[in-house]
Structure 1
């Protein structure tokens, strides 16, 4: 089974994302603008899904098609009819509802029956020789955990270990958030219709979507005229943020970056962030930390300027710096609290990470010159809720972070979200499971700080930093796999992505 975390051919996917609610509202308008009916749109969806299934599983001879009581099920009826007409044996199981089917789904169902197809109830025992399952159970309108009989059908499909192709979205995965409140189809492939929805790219999506595909169903021209709600960002966008340097550039042009952190026993965190700032292209990087870390930091990276953190050195360094990163290894004791208190009087652009965020949660304050980079646990503390609340709706969470704390918020995780107060939002469609290891967040804060020092805006630096970070990790994973991937492995890869002109 192919996993979306392997990042297959993501350049073929669009870079605009819309909410499922909005798409449902405008679908009839979009179809009418192209001179087709909603039923014809459904026929296009079924045809596209059938073509994908035949392409990926050309030897399949017995398909099981699961149809729900809505338009997602209507797509399934179309797939079933096309497969049967092509000589494939089809078993179709459908859920019944108390209300009439939507008109388009009813037409697709009737066409299936008129072609000689049978409809079996959800309680029917499954054949043992099926070699492909088409998931048309629940579409993008789902807002809660699947109920009976859908939950039982989803669990049965997953138990078969037969490859599953999901129509528009895996049943049970919420289209607007990527949350999975109950059971969900574990798809080998998912074909998104018309546009990408955020739930296919963030939250729990990568565990369920499999390889993601997309088909506009002929609405590409109409869609191009609509203002995207969210941007899907990958390494392809780096060229718009990072231009080649002029031949006579000098280090003073590329910013002075100051990093604060590294309490007793946490020197590694500040070292990772500082070197990441250098590798990202900051002209000069200065670290204020504990005396015990000065020697090791200079030995590991002699390009750094390292001093003991004191009131005097901090005041001098703040006057010197263009940008500040605070938090990696900072701790929550008096040493870290004092440094953070002094920093709060500065108006320099800053990146707050790790313990700086935990201290911020204790004394919330809003400012516009800051990027915050919480993981879900830190976000929960900042918003005074549970981590489960954050993960249940990551898009809402990142909007709340921006509203309460200002500036730019980066909500880390699979499908990292970046948002600002102007309503801009992006999903970084990069990264892999190997990044679930210590020190990765420190590297990210250093990259963002380094890009801020080179005069990118807060939002652009956050977006570009997340992409550089994830793309570097993907490059390492391609060479050595995800298990055992270390934060230090990313450091030599960063220059490949902050110099996008090197990419073919």
Structure 2
């Protein structure tokens, strides 16, 4: 093993993300600047993957390696040679093609053959005894569903009881979007090389990537001098956003927020938004809602100031507030429409969610002082397309929303995407499946609005808020699991994650 593979693999996942279409250029320029051949990088990739396999499957003595007809397959040949040299029983299947292999993949194949390795046809019977499958079928260049011959191997690997380790990306997962237009490998582990790809973090990634490992292949110093166009945000950055408060601060220093919504039957939505804002540190939170909601909300959370939404109370509140959040439980009737029409003239930071977004889709406009927080269904209405269109490329959808409506967009989901009209783009790497329950979006709106009230920029409030939201859910899941998680369960753990100076959020 060379020195760089002896480091602990995946000690950390980088916060930089590179688009899939830029990976070949990145790899070539890095190699040229450091005087490294692409074949040397391929060998390093194979060594890194071999180390991950040995680390996590130390007792696996019979490996099945699936090699495609590209550089991903070349990585597989390197892994096969290293495994055989270590005394592991290796069976290698390779796809056939009339086109020649890329030069470095051909070198890797020849090295495998020269070491006494055998290349089997893809349609042979698989060995009955297999402890580990290495997926080197398709790499980051895939842009469509795998062809039938590849899909057959993918399905066979998924049906096999042996775990799968994917090289760079699970075959069938699109590196740019995280979409899975056809068959896709269900990996137990994925080890990715050089740069983090968007498709490993959003879309369907969490269903198929398994545990993600990263290795820069010795290119760390060169990569550190580059400016990545995308960023990954996670709980490790909370302390950068949530710094200790000034000991002599008062409630007026932490912002006045007005939250508008809660039509008939939806008092819970507006109450959750208001309480989430308080738990995130907003100084004062006023709720404007239906008269019937006032007593229940005050009873549940007396720290909230609650008034009936009227023309007069709305006028006074907009003058009083530093920030406005509108939409949770707002409804689509005249009551909600009139409130939104008045809020449109608000010049300070604001957040629009839920029915405010549905009304915006009917009467689109651009506002640079606004955060929009759509889920895929709302995003589809805002862009006049299908939910499938949104999910097929979540990054592009968020960018289109930011361009059309200005401000900042938070496209919610597994791998939430945050985009600004100025071009900032990031993926939130936090949260879990327990958040797939009613009210979670209302809580997120309160968190982000509270950060706006505490003078975060629109983009930072969106990123930090989404991370805090996900981190709070992660802490709950560590204790209780994901099934049955309620939106209001987040309030206690939320208070912990927004105070990283007091409690290390990694400790339970």
- TM-score after normalising by structure 1: 0.97
- 1:92 aligns with 92
- Give secondary structure in 2 for the equivalent of 1:244: coil
Q: Which runs of structure 2 are paired with 1:144-223 in the superposition (5 Å)? A: 144-223=144-223
**CA-to-aligned-CA distance 1:104-158 (integer Å, 9 cap, x gap):** 0001111111111111111111111111000000000000000021000000000
Residue 193 of structure 1: how far off its partner (Å)? 0.3
Residue 238 of structure 1: how far off its partner (Å)? 1.8
- 2:417 aligns with 417
- The unaligned stretches of length 5 or more in structure 2 are 1-8
Q: Distance in 1 between the 2:272 and 2:447 partners? A: 10
**CA-to-aligned-CA distance 1:317-342 (integer Å, 9 cap, x gap):** 11000000000011111111111111
Using the TM superposition, name which of 480-489 and 243-252 deviates more. Answer: 243-252
Q: Residues 10 and 430 (structure 1 numbering): CA distance in 2 closer, same or farther, change over 3 Å?
A: farther
Q: Distance in 2 between the 1:76 and 1:211 partners? A: 19
- The unaligned stretches of length 5 or more in structure 1 are 1-8
Q: Distance in 2 between the 1:11 and 1:458 partners? A: 31
- 2:404 aligns with 404
- 2:3 aligns with none
- 2:240 aligns with 240
**CA-to-aligned-CA distance 1:193-215 (integer Å, 9 cap, x gap):** 01110100011000000000000
Residue 10 of structure 1: how far off its partner (Å)? 8.5
**CA-to-aligned-CA distance 1:220-239 (integer Å, 9 cap, x gap):** 00100000211111122122
On the 8 A contact 2:258/2:286 being kept in 1, the answer is: yes
1:379 paired with 2:368, answer: no
Q: Distance in 2 between the 1:180 and 1:35 partners? A: 36
Question: Which stretches of structure 1, 4 residues or more, deviate above 6 A after TM superposition?
Answer: none
Q: Residues 478 and 208 (structure 1 numbering): CA distance in 2 closer, same or farther, change over 3 Å?
A: same
- 1:320 aligns with 320
Q: Distance in 1 between the 2:161 and 2:340 partners? A: 52
1:468 paired with 2:468, answer: yes
- CA RMSD in angstroms comes to 1.0
- Give secondary structure in 1 for the equivalent of 2:482: coil
Q: Which runs of structure 2 are paired with 1:101-112 in the superposition (5 Å)? A: 101-112=101-112
Residue 503 of structure 1: how far off its partner (Å)? 3.6
On the 8 A contact 2:10/2:214 being kept in 1, the answer is: no
Q: Distance in 1 between the 2:299 and 2:374 partners? A: 30
- 1:122 aligns with 122
- 1:297 aligns with 297
- TM-score after normalising by structure 2: 0.96
- Give secondary structure in 1 for the equivalent of 2:148: coil
Q: Distance in 1 between the 2:419 and 2:240 partners? A: 18
Aligned residues between the structures = 496
